[in-house]
Amino acid sequence: MNNKQIVLGLCSLVLFGCGQKTPKDGLLGELPVVVKQTYDKEMLLKADFEKASKSSDSEEAEKILARGFNLQTILKEKIETIGKGLIGKEIPVEMAANITIKMDSALVIKEVKSSGNVFCEGQASLTDMASMVDDKPGVKLVRLAAVFVDKDGKALGTSSCHINFSEGYKEVYEKGSVGKLRMSISVEDWNAEQLAQLNHVVITQTDRDDYIKAKNLEEEIKNAFKAKENN
């Protein structure tokens, strides 16, 4: 995945949405679908509520509010059901250039919260020295991050990630040190369509161009979504 793919991918996703059917055959299955569908229903209820409020129909407005709360309850129940089917599913991983980490096991989904947060974990080890502080050599472990990518290599979003080493905290870890690489994926209304296309993740660092550009453009997508929501 190169910088041009990241820029083009996230820019195109700003325009993705209206009239498009959210795919449900991605790594996260139907999770992004139900989040997006619930959001669409909430927007319809919002329009109905504003209409009822303008006409001073307080009884209808209360009914609409009740339906809105019920939607969230149903969403949480659906996520819990979908989540059970996602436990143990593998998330393919690539390492960015010069990231001296290798996966010793698959990165798998360990837990799915009713909020839409997906927690992943896999065993990883260092292929060279790495450190937790700036004045020591090697990859800076405190800056580890993930970029979510679709099947065409286009970026979809970002997340932080970290490694918990079996030997505990140290400023410097030697080659061969082993730990658990952990990462989370937060499926929300504004990024559900993007994450429905998740194909793999790239482990990088927060001070690298690939992550910075992906993060900045991700914020643009989020802001554009919120602006559209408020119109």
CA–CA separation, 190 and 78 (whole Å):
18
**pLDDT class of 82 with cuts at 50, 70, 90:** very high
pLDDT at residue 22, rounded to an integer: 64
CA within 13 Å, CB half, 203: 27
pLDDT at residue 15, rounded to an integer: 39
**pLDDT class of 77 with cuts at 50, 70, 90:** very high
Residue 9 has pLDDT above 70, yes or no: no
Q: Which residues of 197-221 are buried (b: 16+ CB within 10 A; e: fewer)?
A: bbbbbbbbbeebebbbbbbebbeeb
pLDDT at residue 10, rounded to an integer: 44
Q: Would you say 45 and 61 are in contact if contact means Cβ atoms under 8 Å apart?
A: no
Q: Which residue has the higher pLDDT, 43 or 83?
A: 83
Q: Would you say 205 and 143 are in contact if contact means Cβ atoms under 8 Å apart?
A: yes
- Pull the structure tokens for residue 178: 């082993």
**pLDDT class of 18 with cuts at 50, 70, 90:** very low
Q: How far is CA 89 from CA 81, 92, 123, 198, in A?
A: 15, 10, 15, 13
pLDDT tens-digit profile of 131-167? 999 899 899 999 999 999 999 999 999 999 999 999 9
CA–CA separation, 59 and 53 (whole Å):
10
**Mean pLDDT of the 211-226 span:** 91
Would you tell me how many other CB atoms lie within 10 Å of the CB of residue 4? 10
pLDDT tens-digit profile of 94-133? 999 999 999 999 999 999 999 999 999 999 999 999 999 9
- Pull the structure tokens for residue 3: 């910088």
